[in-house]
Amino acid sequence: MKAKSNLIGVVLCLLLLTACSKKILTDNPEPEAMLYEINHKEDVSLVFFDHNQEDGLEKHLKIYKRFAEAFDTIQDVHVFHVNEDCVIEFRNYGYYYFYNHDSKLKSGMILSNGVDKPILVTNPDKYIETYESYFKVPFNDKVYYGKLRVAEIAERQKESEKELKSKFKVDQNYADNLIQNSSISYYPKPNAFLGCSTGKVTAKAFRESTKTAKSFLQIETLYDKNGLIKQYSTIINGALYSEDLYYRNSYHLIDSIVRRNEKGEKSKDVFKYSKKQFSIISVDQKNVMIAKVFHLNDKFQCAKSETVNGSGDVVAITFFEYDEFGRIVKEVNATQKLVYEYKNDQEVFYSKMKIYSIKDNALLSENIRYSEGKKDIFIAKEGNKILAKTVSLNNSNGCIKTVYNYNSGNKLSEAYEYSYEN
């Protein structure tokens, strides 16, 4: 569960020394090709590709625009239009490639659930049908519903505005339980090394291990004295790409997050709390709509989350199960099941995560985490094949110093260098 602002996976089209073969949706890299990265692990990515041909794209582009508009405000769904001659790389739990040079494939749609191998459809008449069958949710945009849809959306906006004005009195006990037990990205488990999340933390991304070239991506996070995020900024090629400002109440619960994009446009996510759940309401110049709902059990753990699009449709539902120590052991959505294993009773971070298909319960891939001295290693595997590897080097305080990401060919894809200012 994560916000779209966590934009480590920025999409860029770059000339790299990793690409792919000319097979459709392969995981075999080849040297030197134009690379278009889709780095949204666990999120939905919908890629519409073509070659800027003069005719034959009317229906293809029309449906692309429908998807782009329907998911414009959804943080967990990303819609792309790629018309460059390049290789599209999907960085899921494994790296997958699509070669967008094939003269036989004039256009099409690639669907990725952010975990396993994406699927491809080339008939525009099948785009919506394939989306609905793959993700097991209806594509209910305004074109589909017509006039009835407009009335329905208006009613949902009224409900969201009513929720926005609702009052619920929180106290210190409610806040402490939610912050400590909910296990969601807005309220993560307390860091064992509080010094790693105070002051300013900067992560710079590089394309090579020497880190001599200028950083193409920089993430800056400001924390308060309690180790809670105050500001999260993404800088691309020296320019501010996005900025999130966190506002909290006296109990340290988030009241709102004010977001600003690269165009300077602002929007706001307002957090509304109640006894058994809390909601995030998206507010911008065009719309007021509930965007996310977290349902809580008696222990204030998130038992169920719902993702809602800008029209008020529930587009994703995820269920969570916990062990006796309050750690997530199972996460289930429409297409996959994630099972977490822990090294011992004290570890708060999993040592192994296995991903299964809901359809046939087949093991799709697994993530393994282990430590060697001041080094943490993460490996994504499919059977005996390594799909990706991350090596995190820690400093003497136990904080992350440098992170190296490797692809399935064991070639460095990027390096992140961390610095800390108190």
- Domains in the chain, please, with CATH? 13-139 (3.40.30)
DSSP E strands, 254-301: 254-260, 266-273, 277-283, 288-296
- Token pair for 146: 């017509």
Q: Does residue 322 contact residue 329 with C-beta atoms inside 8 Å?
A: yes
pLDDT of residue 190: 65
Q: Does residue 273 contact residue 296 with C-beta atoms inside 8 Å?
A: no
Task: Say which residue the tokens 């062990």 belong to.
Answer: 323
Q: What is the DSSP letter of 404?
A: E
**68-79 as b/e: b if 16+ CB within 10 A:** eebbebbbbbbb
Q: Does residue 355 contact residue 365 with C-beta atoms inside 8 Å?
A: yes
- For 364, residues 6+ apart whose C-beta sits below 8 A from its C-beta are 93, 115, 116, 336, 355, 356, 357, 382
HSE-up (13 A, CA, CB side) for residue 119: 12
Task: Say which residue the tokens 């282990």 belong to.
Answer: 370
Residue 200 CB neighbours (<10 A) = 14
Closest CA to 189 of 317, 391, 1, 356: 1
pLDDT of residue 11: 33
- Token pair for 6: 């966590």
Task: Say which residue the tokens 């394309």 belong to.
Answer: 207
Task: Say which residue the tokens 């610095």 belong to.
Answer: 419
List, as own/partner pairs, every contact residues 172-175 make where C-beta atoms lie below 8 angstroms and the sequence separation is at least 24, other chains included. Answer: 172/251, 174/251, 174/273, 175/249, 175/251, 175/252, 175/253
Please state whether beta strands 87-92 and 33-38 pair in parallel, antiparallel, or not at all (unpaired). parallel
pLDDT of residue 95: 87
pLDDT of residue 21: 32
81 alpha-carbon distance from chain centroid: 18
pTM of the full structure: 0.67
User: Measuring CA to CA, how many Å separate 156 from each of 160, 188, 233?
Assistant: 6, 30, 32
Residue 322 CB neighbours (<10 A) = 18
CA–CA dist 419, 234 (Å, integer):
15
> Which regions in the chain score pLDDT beneath 50?
1-23, 192
158 phi and psi angles, rounded to 5 deg: -65, -40
With H, G, I as helix, E, B as strand and everything else as coil, classify residue 240. Answer: strand
Cα dihedral across residues 256, 257, 258, 263: positive or negative: negative
Burial of 106 (0-12, 13-18, 19+ CB in 10 A): middle
pLDDT of residue 26: 66
Q: Does residue 29 contact residue 95 with C-beta atoms inside 8 Å?
A: yes
- For 287, residues 6+ apart whose C-beta sits below 8 A from its C-beta are 73, 157, 310
Q: End-to-end distance of the chain based on CA atoms, in angstroms?
A: 28
Residue 302 CB neighbours (<10 A) = 23
pLDDT of residue 99: 83
pLDDT digits (tens, 9 = 90+) for 178-206: 999 999 999 987 654 556 888 999 999 99
User: Measuring CA to CA, how many Å separate 141 from each of 14, 71, 229, 288, 419?
Assistant: 33, 9, 35, 17, 44
CA–CA dist 76, 53 (Å, integer):
31
Does an H or E element contain 193, and which? none
pLDDT of residue 172: 96
